[in-house]
Chain A
């Protein structure tokens, strides 16, 4: 089973949730984030879910649990790139993810975490 790559930039960890994630990979996701947080001392995490065409109750639980455990570790976390159709479907399913900090894209996600991209002059 392949792990999900976790990239580090400064004090932020980035990871992209793969399109078709099964239970085993989901468990790795949570463990990887926690291990990397511990190892690197990163202060914030960005989870990109833009490759997910659908979010069912299983995926929603994986994301919610990863967010919760990250917060317990003392790091901030933002979920970016949720598609509009996935968002609508999620609400129709009856799932509430409003406790989770989300952003439309990576740039606004970074902004929510208090970072801003700047060009070197």
Chain B
């Protein structure tokens, strides 16, 4: 497992290229690698933009006879008040296009989010091979 601190923009680029390399090592197709790297880019950028700092964990896993990559996005930022609302297409609380969360969910095979206002947000995505 690798843990990447997200402090500045270059860390976003680093996180997505690491995710790509993990997927590469597991033999993911180009399409699946690209989906994963794009989702990681969106979610790592959310940390940078809304929580200022946080971390991304990337890990290769085995489950139900198949291999996959799990990525966790953890921050101690402001948290999300209304998760249902931010999961709707087109909603954004910041100065962005607002596709971050629903877009990343569509690109992943599994997506879960836990957030407590004032404490932070924890998002986990899984991409199976």
Show the binding face of A for B, using Cβ within 8 Å: 20, 22-24, 53-58, 60-61, 85-86, 88-89, 92-95
Contacts and interface: CB of A to CB of B under 8 A. Distances in A.
B70 interface: no
B34 A93 contact: no
Nearest to A56: B41
Q: Which 8 A-B pairs have the closest CB atoms?
A: A93-B103, A56-B41, A85-B34, A22-B9, A20-B13, A54-B38, A57-B97, A94-B99
A92 B16 contact: no
A93 B38 contact: yes
Nearest to B42: A56
B109 to A, nearest CB: 13
A95 B98 CA distance: 10
Residue among B31, B96, B99 with max Cβ neighbours from chain A (10 Å): B99
B97 A61 contact: yes
13 contacts: A22-B9, A53-B37, A56-B41, A57-B42, A57-B45, A57-B97, A57-B100, A85-B30, A88-B31, A94-B102, A95-B97, A95-B99, A95-B103
The contact size tier of chain B is 20 to 34
A72 to B, nearest CB: 20
A53 to B, nearest CB: 7
Contacts of A24: 9
A54 to B, nearest CB: 5
A58 B100 CA distance: 10
Nearest to A83: B34
Nearest to B97: A57
Interface of B: 9-10, 12-13, 16-17, 20, 30-31, 34-35, 37-38, 41-42, 45, 89, 96-97, 99-100, 102-103, 106-107
A89 B99 contact: no
A12 B16 CA distance: 34
B81 to A, nearest CB: 21
Residue among A24, A54, A88, A89 with max Cβ neighbours from chain B (10 Å): A54
Given A54-B34, A93-B106, A22 B42 contact: no
A89 B9 contact: no
Contacts of B35: 89, 92
Contacts of B34: 53-54, 85-86, 88-89
